[in-house]
A and B are shown apart, each in its own frame.
Chain A
């Protein structure tokens, strides 16, 4: 039995712009509250989720990449032992043009029941995806969700 979630947001943009926002660190940091994905994006390449102060939150590997529509990364937490112990999860990001909108689907899954890692990341993704939508549609990301 897997633990997983599927999050969807519709963004008034193009798949190319959304792809750039997700894969270029200087762009990503603007909406991901200072965090960026560091990798060459070649399948098999090392992948890291790094904070603005250089802290490595998660590590893994690029499994698939089809710009500007889809990437899959192998994802393991690095800073909380109980999450790191769960091993690798899989995060898939898909971008599909639907009329004037881009449907962004983020799927995060791990092969274990009641995963703490999935519990932890499921809380973070809605804020990140809403901030990405705001940045692409209005030019402004959302503030870091601390007061709410």
Chain B
């Protein structure tokens, strides 16, 4: 999956707000998502399309209703690649430092 699309989709406060709202309550319709948004329905639709293209939301039909679900898998992939990896490195450095210092004590 294109990670550029994920970063681009996340680089907008409205789209992050939409994700926060789905995180608070998953599986909402367009009407529900438009509530309390200070913009046109058309603008919200555009933002949702970008989020969907980045695979950050998944759309499912339930009867005649189109429901939007947050999909955290691409965010997990970002965390794994850009955060956890470095965290592990830092922990390894700390443990090496501890070993070295403890050796010097002796």
Interchain CA distance A4-B67 in the complex, whole Å: 12
Number of A residues, CB within 8 Å of B: 19
Binds B, one of A29-37, A82-90, A123-131: A123-131
Binds B, one of A41-49, A71-79, A140-148: A140-148
Number of A-B contacts (CB under 8 A): 53
Does A126 contact B72, Cβ atoms closer than 8 Å? Answer: yes
Contact B83 A8 (CB under 8 A): no
Count of B interface residues, CB-CB < 8 Å:
21
Q: Is A105's beta carbon under 8 Å from chain B?
A: yes
Query: Given that A145-B80, A147-B91, A148-B87 are contacting pairs, would A8 and B72 also be in contact in the complex, using a CB cutoff of 8 Å?
Result: no
Whether a CB of chain A sits under 8 angstroms from the CB of B73 is yes
Question: What is the CB-to-nearest-CB distance from B32 to chain A, in angstroms, rounded to a whole number?
Answer: 14
Is A39 an interface residue when CB atoms closer than 8 A count as contact?
Answer: no
Residue of A nearest to B75 (CB): A126
Do A9 and B1 have beta carbons less than 8 Å apart?
yes
**B90 closest partner in A (C-beta):** A147
